Structure 1
C-alpha cells in the first residue's frame, strides 16, 4: 500500500514528529468526529451537533432559505454558504437538498475543489511529479502560489497523516476542507483553531473570487 512507502519516507525526516500508529485512542476518536445531523424543512435547514466551534453552525441551529447564499450539491460532502463561510452537510442528503434549493430559489453552484488539490499528497495513493505540476497550475489559477501551498501542506502534514493512516481511514479518493478541519481540531488551542478555520474558509471560497 502507498502508506508503507510514505512511512519509510517520513521516518527519514528528523524534524517530523509523526510515527505510524502513535496517535492516542482519544485523539483518533476526535479525528473521526461526526459532521452532525441535518433536518431539511420546507424553507429551512436545521443543523445539530456540528463539530467545528468557530462555525456559525455551532452557534445557530436554524437557517432559513433566504439566509443562504448558495448550495453546492456536487461537492462531497455537500455545502451551503452564508457570507464568507461554508457549512458542511450530510453526504446522503444531496437529492433532497437539490429539491430544497429549487423550491426556495436558492442558487446552486459547483465550487472548485481547492482543498482537495492541496491535500492530495496525504491520500493513500501515489503522488507523482506530474500530479504535483498539474495541481500547482490549478492552485495558481485560483491565486495560491507554490510557496503558499508548500507552507499549508507543511502545517497540516502530521495531522493529515494521523487522520488518514492512524485512524485506518485509508482514504485514496479525495479530501476536502472538512477533512483538514477535523484533522487540525485535535491539535490547536481554541484561538489557534479559530484562526485556522478562518484561513480554511478563505481558501475554500477562492473560486468565488476567481469567477468574479
Structure 2
C-alpha cells in the first residue's frame, strides 16, 4: 500500500507515474551497484570497484591511514572521512574495521544522518505530518531550510522511487548518502554527477548551527 501511495502521489495522472517507472533492466542493475570490495591492510584501506568516480577511492587507490581524518564505525554503512568527502565501507566487515581503527588509533565520531532525514519520504513506510515536522526541525538545526530540503527532494524524487521500489529493494528502515549517490549516478553525466557528488558530501558533513 505504501508503494502504491508513493507511486500515484508522484503525478496528477497515474499513467504519468507509471511511465516514470519504465526503467530498463540495465538501469535496475546499475541502481543496485555494489560499493566494491574492501581490503584492509595494516596501515591502509583499499576498495576494488568503487562505483563513485569523483571519489579518491575510485580506481582502487590505497587510502593510507595518515590521510584518514576520522571514522564513523556505527553508521550504516561505516564511513571514513578523507579531506572533504566520506568514503563508504562495507558493513559486513564492521568488526575488522573496528580493529583497524583501534590498531591505528583513528579518531572515531558519530555523525548526524542528514541524508537519512532528507530521504525519509522515499522509504516503504508512511511519511506522516508529524514525521515531516520533526525532520524539518532537525534539518533546520543544521542550516537546511524547508525550502532547501523540498528542492533537494524534488531533484532526487524520481530516481529514489526507482531505486527503492522498481528495483524491489523495498527499504523501510533507512536510506542515506550512499543510496542517493547510487540512484543519481544512473541519471547524470560525468560533469553533473561530480557537481551532485560534491553537494552530497557537503550536506553529509554538515555541523549543527551554533546558537546565538
Compute the TM-score of the two structures, normalised by the length of structure 2.
0.94
Deviations 1:82-138 (A, max 9, x none): 010000011111111111111111101111000000000000000000000000000
Look up the match of 1:79.
Answer: 79
Partner of 2:108: 108
Residues 12-35 of structure 1: per-residue CA shift (max 9 Å, x gap): 269x76636411101101100010
Q: Is 1:194 aligned to residue 194 of structure 2?
A: yes
- Separation in structure 2 between the aligned mates of residue 137 and residue 111 of structure 1, nearest angstrom: 17
> 5+ residue gaps in structure 2?
none
Task: Give the number of the structure whose residues are more often helix, by fraction.
Answer: 1
Contact 1:164-1:170 within 8 A present in 2 as well: yes
- SS where residue 57 of structure 2 aligns? helix
In structure 1, stretches of 5+ residues that fail to align are none
Q: Which runs of 4+ in 1 moved over 4 A?
A: none
Give 2:169's aligned residue.
169
Write the distance in 1 (CA, Å) between the matches of 2:22 and 2:207: 37
1:23-75 Cα shifts (integer Å, max 9, x gaps) = 11011011000100111111111111000001110045211111100111111
Match of 1:158 in 2: 158
CA contact (8 A) 1:71 1:107 kept: yes
| In the alignment, structure 1 residue 118 sits paired with structure 2 residue 108 | no
Q: Distance in 2 between matches of 1:134 and 1:166?
A: 28
The 3 A distance-change label for structure 1 pair 13 and 86 is farther
Is the Cα contact below 8 Å between 1:11 and 1:19 reproduced in 2? no
Distance in 1 (CA, whole Å) between partners of 2:136 and 2:61 is 38
Q: 2 CA distance for matches of 1:208 and 1:86?
A: 18
Q: CA-atom RMSD, angstroms?
A: 1.9
- Residues 124 and 172 in structure 1, CA contact (< 8 A), matched pair in contact too: yes
- Higher RCO (C-alpha under 8 Å, 6+ residues apart): 1
Aligned length: 210
TM-score normalised per structure 1: 0.94
1:163 deviation in Å? 0.3
Residue in 2 that maps onto 1:42 = 42
Contact kept, 8 Å, 1:38 with 1:47, in 2: the verdict is: yes
